Structure 1
Amino acid sequence: MLGLGLAIEPQIWALIFVMVRVGAAFSAAPVFGGVSLPLTVRVSLTGAIGILVLSSHSITPPPNVFALATFLSIAAEALVGLAMGFILQTAFAAPLIASEVIGGAMGIGFASSIDPQNGRSTPALGQFFSVMLTLLFLSVDGHLVLVDMLLKSYDALPPGAAWMGPEQLKAIAFFGGYAVLAGLLLALPVGFLLLCLNIVVGMMSRAAPALNLFAVGLPASLAVGVIALAIAFPAMGDYMLVIIRESLGAVQAMVLG
């Protein structure tokens, strides 16, 4: 019942109630929440996952739609879904931090383009890292792991008891610190070489004040940066896989404890 003398099909109301958590997770998660993904596709995926949840779990939605308890249950469902997607989205911020460090040292921090994932202007190097992290995320079936965690969340956090405790919220906040650390570690190999180059260029400027640093330092930084990226990228790709595993592990820890 809607609570106003109106009725709604129980199956449709149960599906809509389940789609709240799934849709919130997809809206905040990478890949699924990108602006390049049409809204109709996102809603269709949410409905398909909702049907899967209803077929594997016994979900009892609140009896009345327009009731305070129903609004609180919907808010709890949305909070759980947003938390799961937010953890993954935080992990995807690590390459952007690395690109800021590397791009600033290389002198290409001004080069930016529109990121198709969020529709905002991001550094070109950061977009390259984000695309690589997205491809690695899909290659290790991270999207399927997210769907599996959504299904398991209805066992660990059933509707009506889905409010997250302080420990879970604290873990989400501390994972943001890990994302910053991961971004700095991702930029460490190339950033260290560029730092050494800047020290050498600074020593040269002190030894020969008439030397034009812009004519020597900027081409040298670009050349060393490109070569260092080419050499270090296999190791950076391996560390991106570590970031993906840690983010999926953080989602699993939040859901299953």
Structure 2
Amino acid sequence: MLGFGLSIEPQLWALVFVMVRVGAAFVAAPVFGAVGVPLPVRVALSGAVGVLVLGVHPVTPPAQLFGLATFISVAAEALVGLAIGFILQIAFAAPLIASELIGGSMGLGFAQSVDPQNGRSSPALGQFFTIMLTLLFLSLDGHLVLVDMIVRSYAALPPGQAWMGAERLQAIAIFGGYAFVAGLLLALPVGFLLLALNLVVGMISRSAPSLNLFAVGLPMSLAVGVVALAISFPAMGDYMVVIVRESLSAADKLVLG
């Protein structure tokens, strides 16, 4: 009996309890938390990983289904899962910041479209960077590393002792600045060339005030930006690999210690 006259199979209740942490991580994490991923697929993945967790770690769920201790335990499980996924989501915000910096200088700030990852409008250049980062994340087996972290989290933060300390929550908040640093470094090669172009255009405007810079500056910025992206994209791809590895390492250290 689990309270209020309800009864449920102990194995099923343990699986549902484990799926709280796993499902929270999948909701907050990139790729798994995309709008295009159907809800039944997320539930099925959470159940599959939950079966894996129960086969590795002996998880004892709360005795009563409706009770204050149960609600607190469920909230603690959800907090751990959200923390793991949120750290990865922070790193995936770096391409959007880089696209804002590059697109604003190139004159592509007005090019907006619906992002299939989150269902909101975002710069078209940012979607291109996000797709590349997602493909690199999958090619580096980031989704498998995420599942491994979720399974190992039951050893580092077992149910009933899953509340993370204030120092870990503070470290996760401080890690939010990494998105701005990574976005700036990702946009640095193209941004530097566009800055040099703006300096040249500024000197031309001072030397020839009658020149129509609106007719010359915008096409020139767009052309230089496209060429700079084509030249610097291999280096940007290498740094995207660094972003993926740093995010996975940070999730492992900040959450699991």
- What TM-score do you get using the length of structure 2 for normalisation? 0.99
Is 1:25 paired with 2:30?
A: no
- What CA distance in whole angstroms lies between the structure 2 residues aligned with 1:115 and 1:135? 16
Whichever residue aligns with residue 126 of structure 2, its letter is: G
Distance of 1:2 and 1:198 partners within structure 2: 69
Matched residues in 1 for 2:39 and 2:77: separation?
20
Unaligned 5+ residue runs, structure 2?
none
Superposed structure 1 runs of 4+ greater than 4 Å apart: none
Residue correspondence of structure 1 range 36-47 to structure 2 within 5 A: 36-47=36-47
Q: Residue by residue, what CA displacement relative to the aligned partner does 1:11-60 show, whole Å, maximum 9, x if unpaired?
A: 11000000000000000000000000111111100100001101111000
How many Å apart are 1:8 and its aligned residue?
A: 0.8
Give the structure 2 partner of residue 146 of structure 1.
146
What whole-Å deviation, never above 9, does each CA across 1:146-194 have from its counterpart, x for those lacking one?
0000000000000000000011111111111011100001000100100
| 1:122 aligned counterpart, secondary structure | strand
Q: Which residue of 2 aligns with 1:206?
A: 206
Q: Is the 8 A contact 1:27 1:33 kept in 2?
A: yes
Q: Report 1:95-244 matches (<5 A).
A: 95-244=95-244
Task: Return the alpha-carbon distance in structure 2 between the equivalents of residues 255 and 150 of structure 1.
Answer: 10
Contact 2:111 2:124 in 1 (8 A): yes
Q: Give, as a single letter, the amino acid of the residue that structure 1 aligns with 2:73.
A: S
Question: In structure 2, how many angstroms separate the alpha carbons of the residues matched to 1:77 and 1:99?
Answer: 35
TM-score by length of 1: 0.99
Equivalents in 1 of 2:114, 2:38: separation in Å? 17
How far 1:214 moved relative to its partner?
A: 1.2
CA-to-partner distance for each residue in 1:94-148, whole Å, 9 max, x for gaps?
Answer: 0000000000000010001111000000000000000000000000000000000
Tell me the percent identity: 77
Q: 8 Å contact 1:149–1:255 — kept in the other structure?
A: no
How big is the shift at 1:2? 2.4
Provide the rounded CA distance (Å) in 2 between the counterparts of 1:181 and 1:107: 23
Contact 1:152 1:255 (8 Å CA) reproduced: no
Residue 59 of structure 2 aligns to a residue in which SS?
coil
